[in-house]
Amino acid sequence: MTLLDRIPSGTLVAVDTAPWIYAFEINPRYEPILRPLFDLRFATGLNRAGASALVVAEILTHPISLGRHDLVATYRHFFQDAGRVAVWTVDNSVAERAATLRVKYRLKLIDALHVAAAIENTAAVFVRNDVELRRVTEIPVLVLDDFLLQMNAP
């Protein structure tokens, strides 16, 4: 089963920080898993991506520190395309849900905020690459390493 098999066409897909970096900076390990999502779903409009504005801050930090203005511009261009990606604010409802998620699952604040933003904005799934959020039951969490193992299976 591929990542696309787990993402219903036409749904909003929340994407955590690492998958954006893997896709845009062409991580050789994870880019093959993510490329179909970006090229066949987000680029064509079959699915729309979503992320908290805090994800944008996390993504831009390293390229800014390296002076990679080209990469910063690439990220900015993508995140300004409202047809492909929704950037969610962290308002009181997201903050309150994040607090509840932190207590219920003992999550780090940043993870709880990302997941809360996805839930509050009715994303169908949350794509990331950290198993810690698997215990969250309010939204299906798709962990990239699970699909990496399937790609490498005989």
Whole-prediction pTM value?
Answer: 0.92
Query: Nearest-CA neighbor of 18 among 123, 111, 139?
Result: 111
- CA 113/CA 100 separation, integer angstroms: 10
Domains along the chain with CATH numbers: 4-148 (3.40.50.1010)
Per-residue pLDDT tens over the stretch 64-83 = 999 999 999 999 999 999 98
State the burial class of residue 152 (Cβ atoms within 10 Å of its Cβ: 0-12, 13-18, 19+): exposed
Per-residue pLDDT tens over the stretch 96-150 = 999 999 999 999 999 999 999 999 999 999 999 988 899 999 999 999 999 986 6
- CA 103/CA 100 separation, integer angstroms: 5
